[in-house]
Structure 1
Amino acid sequence: MNDSYDRDPFGQQTQATQSVYEHPCAALSKIMSSGTFYYASDGKWDISTRLQVRTKRQTQHDHSVFDPRFIWNEYIVGSLMDFRSRLDPDERDDMDMCHFIILAIQGHVGLHSIPLPAPPRSGRPSIATIGMISRLGWKRAGTRFNTRGVDDDGNVANFVETETLFATNEASWSYVQVRGSIPLFWEQQGLQIGGQRIQITRAPGASQPAFERHFAQLIEEYETVHIINLLGTKENEATLTAAYTAHLQTLRANGNAGVTMSNLDFHGVVRVMGHDAIPATLKSLEGVQSGLDNYGFTSVEHNVSALTTPQVGVFRTNCLDWYIPPKASWVGTMLILRL
């Protein structure tokens, strides 16, 4: 064999003619090396779950407790979890120390340390940590244009929970927002970006159950939801907004007042008044200021490991195409700055 061939980490030749001999795990290795998967290396921190839920447990982290919406390798570790559950406590601790079970999320984790002014009493400056964790749901994963909307179980494409964190030696604070595809059965046809025709693929009566399941899940998880709909006023997007509004009206008529909606034509505002007009426009939307005033944020005191204040609602943001920035970034940042 010619040893001048380059070899990949699995020892396989990388010449095009050798692709037939590619290692069976090569595709998985490529996905996991994309830079979008994260896990807590010591296993003591549940990276899949937001601060408020972790604090309410009042117990040391158990590997078997996590948010199943965001663990992308849940099926892989399922058999290990079953095996672990049958061990006695000492054996379970030994297994946990070996880090056989790695729970991975997909999304983004960013943490930064910042110095704080020295308090007058001690005279010593302290260091705070500010961070952001975005957790991408896996239950309706797929590629752009091929996976849109909702499924029959209420899962939407590109669902993301974003948690902004701030922590000092004394306390931690957390603020959570979510985003996702419009929870209707719809698709886009055509290949030209911005020119795809939107088609709603189910009648209102047939799609209402999935729509209601989606928001029932959000209410169970976050208590109250205010939708910020960033669809524009062009014909394609206006049709989708009209259907979205009609389904929401039916939901509320059925007695669920915990979901409200505001519409913001992001591109329209920017085109006329520029990006600087977004904060004032956002604040003026019905329901937004009320949500900022009433939803609150999570705060936890470290000395008692207790929840001081809970967050009791979330903003759910959506636009037509999450692959085209920066709508979500702008709106999410403005909401945080308005707290």
Structure 2
Amino acid sequence: MTARPCHKKFLLYKNSKAYTFVPAESSGEQALSIRRGTGEIRLNSIHNSAPEGHDLLMQNVFGIVGIISLAYDDYIIVICAREQRGNFMGHPIYETTNLQILPMSTADQSTLPPTETYLLGLVKAHLRNSFLLSYDWDITTRLQAQERVTGEPRYLWELADDRFFWNKSLQSRFIDFARNSGNTEIGAFILPVMFGTFDIRTTYLKGRSVQLCLISRRSRFRAGTRYLRRGADSEGHVANFNETEQVLLVDRPGKPHGDHGIRLGFVQIRGSIPLFWAEVNNLRYKPDLQVMELPGSENAMKRHLQELVELYGQQNLVSLVNQKGYEKPIKEAFEKYMATMDLPTVKYDHFDFHHECRNMKWDRISVLIDRIKEDLISDGYYHAEVGQPEPLKEQSGTVRTNCMDNLDRTNVAQSAIAKWILDRQLRDIGLFEEGETVDTYERFMYMFRNMWADHADAISKAYSGTGALKTDYTRTGKRSKQGLLTDGINSVQRYVTNNFFDGPRQDGYDLVTGNWSPRAGSAAARAIMFDTRPLLVRFMPTVIAWSLFMMCCGLTLPRSSAAPMKYWLLIWGTLLTIALTFIFVHGIYYVSWPLLNPLTDVIHYDGPGFRTKSRGRGLGISDWSKSLLQIAPLSYREWVEKGHGRAKSRANEIEMGELAKKRLE
């Protein structure tokens, strides 16, 4: 279906009353005005778009991402720079490289309240990610689904897959205007952007030009960071859900080079195990694992799987978690609930990746492909050709792959499945002989492996904060010692990022995707600025820093005492040891948790299910610790009940904010 295109470029005017976006690429179009005081949206004729008194603010605006509301003001987010990533079937695909935030208020931005500055910083940090867009092609929807759309041409926001319309919340005011006013022309201003990956490269196979394209689409539902978003929610949305589409465009026989009239597509999906489960950070390398058996667990899992069946057809669930040790409980819980599901179009297959591919025998991923081969053949792939009114083949099912993170093992499995399908597609269109594979074409395989490895790194950075592990195998087809060293470095970086930096990253996700919205000037928003941990907890890092400083001074500065140095080191070393011990005993209170949507119900879960031995949660409240904590802004018990000093619900947030305000007074 042909989409009605969005405006590609604007001239942006402003005065004290409004921002006005004037389409720059064509004449006769309407201009969009947004009132700064009220947020009122209007479409004006081009002649009245820049009345006297307006100043030209920007000459190159390449799209409106949307409007976000923070605690004290609303802001318009615009694209100021972009970079073309490729041309897909004649449609340019762009990546954002610079987004700017324009305040709706006319107040001096240098005097913003601290809360507003903090929230604005979260948004700016999130917008440093790169987002993908197209002005005339629906990048959020896979090829096969686009073929099924019929009727009159519609604007991109009307066609976009709701899961991958990343800025849907930011565009809500414009969408409401389109629906309520009946003026559909605003659709040309509503530009969907996607958080994911896009890569397209051209090469030759047997003298025919081919383009290989890899597109990954990240869901905006239950979006977030590695340990702070796990499992499913009550609606059946799962963490780190990604749809990956591999498209192969091939020249038709007898056509000139670059025809690319044969279009082959294959879709795979990944997502967290669809149960209520979590890993609670506690400064240990392996967090506490807990599987929460709540009344809605089975329903959430069923809703998730039913949605997948409706969207993609038959589901082949491939779980790569370990069958022993730390991961065993989540595997058993997954299989327990799968046994209760009456879903004939859903199959489950467990493949213990680490056991089967131990000793770096990664080629044994072929064992998994042999097990699911019949399903891959049955599910098929998408095949269409230019000039044909209907697709020649359609994909009737997908492989849904998961490990614990849906990153490293999942990447290896998905790339191997994608290569197997690619061989089959090339044989089916007659380009390859029976038994021939792309492995014999070194240039093509180099391109294929690097595309999948780059794709893996991008997904991993968005979720875990670092590049993917095991990409040496994805890039070269072999596991190496250098790859093991790189994985070790990335693992350390993940540990640091996930324990000490992911809280603000998660808050950024929640703000931009609309999972948290502050009321103007609310006490709930102000409350996030206060560290309500007990004073003793906050004091321990200072003890560590001071102890290290004094030990260094004793070792490096001239001595003015005859006392043995060992006593000096013993005193400060003892304090250092006590502080470090205290921090690791109370580990969860030093983790960077999200402040906007606190994980109170997860961190302090005490219901049915499975839990590893709880660590890093303190030694309990004895009489001596109670007396020590009296000097804290909140008692230890209050702090725990409030969930890291942040409220779970709107009412508790307001209560918390008022409490913090009273204590300051």
TM-score norm. by structure 1 comes to: 0.81
- Alpha-carbon distance change, 24 to 293 in structure 1, aligned in 2, over 3 angstroms: closer
Of the three residues 362, 365, 381, the one matched with 1:275 is: 362
Does 1:109 pair with 2:198? yes
Of the three residues 252, 255, 263, the one matched with 1:172 is: 263
Tell me what 1:30 maps to. 125
| Cα RMSD (Å) | 2.9
Do the aligned partners of 2:316 and 2:348 also contact (CA within 8 Å) in 1? yes
| Shift, 1:214, TM fit | 0.7
Tell me how far apart the structure 2 counterparts of residues 319 and 194 of structure 1 sit (CA, whole Å). 18
Of the three residues 309, 324, 327, the one matched with 1:237 is: 327
Structure 2 residue identity aligned to 1:65: L
Does 1:292 pair with 2:376? yes
Do the aligned partners of 2:234 and 2:296 also contact (CA within 8 Å) in 1? no
Tell me what 2:345 maps to. 258
Deviations 1:182-203 (A, max 9, x none): 0111111344565223211124
Of the three residues 125, 135, 143, the one matched with 1:51 is: 143
Does 1:74 pair with 2:168? yes
Does 1:188 pair with 2:279? yes
Do the aligned partners of 2:264 and 2:381 also contact (CA within 8 Å) in 1? yes
- Alpha-carbon distance change, 260 to 29 in structure 1, aligned in 2, over 3 angstroms: same
| Shift, 1:217, TM fit | 0.5
Tell me what 2:243 maps to. 161
Deviations 1:17-62 (A, max 9, x none): x996959755434322222x2111xx21111100001011145453
Runs of 4+ in 1 over 4 A off after TM superposition: 8-11, 18-26, 85-88
Tell me what 1:3 maps to. none
Percent identity between the two aligned chains? 26
Tell me what 1:141 maps to. 223
Secondary structure, in 3 states, of the residue corresponding to 1:307?
A: coil
Unaligned runs of 5+ in 2: 1-98, 103-111, 251-259, 422-665
Does 1:224 pair with 2:319? no
Tell me how far apart the structure 2 counterparts of residues 329 and 61 of structure 1 sit (CA, whole Å). 35
Secondary structure, in 3 states, of the residue corresponding to 1:320?
A: coil
| Shift, 1:87, TM fit | 7.1
Of the three residues 388, 395, 400, the one matched with 1:304 is: 388
Tell me how far apart the structure 2 counterparts of residues 191 and 236 of structure 1 sit (CA, whole Å). 16
- Alpha-carbon distance change, 193 to 278 in structure 1, aligned in 2, over 3 angstroms: farther
Larger CA deviation: 78-87 vs 168-177: 78-87
Do the aligned partners of 1:44 and 1:61 also contact (CA within 8 Å) in 2? no
Do the aligned partners of 1:10 and 1:23 also contact (CA within 8 Å) in 2? no
Do the aligned partners of 1:149 and 1:157 also contact (CA within 8 Å) in 2? yes
Tell me what 2:599 maps to. none
Tell me how far apart the structure 2 counterparts of residues 243 and 67 of structure 1 sit (CA, whole Å). 31
Structure 2 residue identity aligned to 1:197: D
Tell me what 1:320 maps to. 404
Tell me how far apart the structure 2 counterparts of residues 247 and 102 of structure 1 sit (CA, whole Å). 40
Aligned positions, number: 305
Structure with more of its chain in helix, by fraction: 2
Secondary structure, in 3 states, of the residue corresponding to 1:113?
A: strand
Larger CA deviation: 213-222 vs 169-178: 169-178
Do the aligned partners of 1:45 and 1:61 also contact (CA within 8 Å) in 2? no
Do the aligned partners of 2:315 and 2:397 also contact (CA within 8 Å) in 1? yes
Do the aligned partners of 1:46 and 1:61 also contact (CA within 8 Å) in 2? no
Tell me what 1:15 maps to. none
Unaligned runs of 5+ in 1: 1-7, 12-17, 119-125
Secondary structure, in 3 states, of the residue corresponding to 1:156?
A: coil
Secondary structure, in 3 states, of the residue corresponding to 1:338?
A: helix
Do the aligned partners of 2:200 and 2:212 also contact (CA within 8 Å) in 1? yes
Tell me what 2:339 maps to. 249
Tell me how far apart the structure 1 counterparts of residues 173 and 280 of structure 2 sit (CA, whole Å). 40
Tell me how far apart the structure 1 counterparts of residues 320 and 401 of structure 2 sit (CA, whole Å). 7
Q: Computing the radius of gyration over CA atoms, which structure comes out larger, 1 or 2?
A: 2
With CA pairs under 8 Å and 6+ residues apart, which has the higher RCO, 1 or 2? 1
Do the aligned partners of 1:141 and 1:157 also contact (CA within 8 Å) in 2? yes
Tell me how far apart the structure 1 counterparts of residues 155 and 101 of structure 2 sit (CA, whole Å). 34
Tell me how far apart the structure 1 counterparts of residues 177 and 202 of structure 2 sit (CA, whole Å). 39
Secondary structure, in 3 states, of the residue corresponding to 1:74?
A: coil
Do the aligned partners of 2:282 and 2:288 also contact (CA within 8 Å) in 1? no
Of the three residues 152, 155, 166, the one matched with 1:62 is: 155
Larger CA deviation: 51-60 vs 157-166: 51-60
Tell me what 1:123 maps to. none
Do the aligned partners of 2:141 and 2:160 also contact (CA within 8 Å) in 1? yes
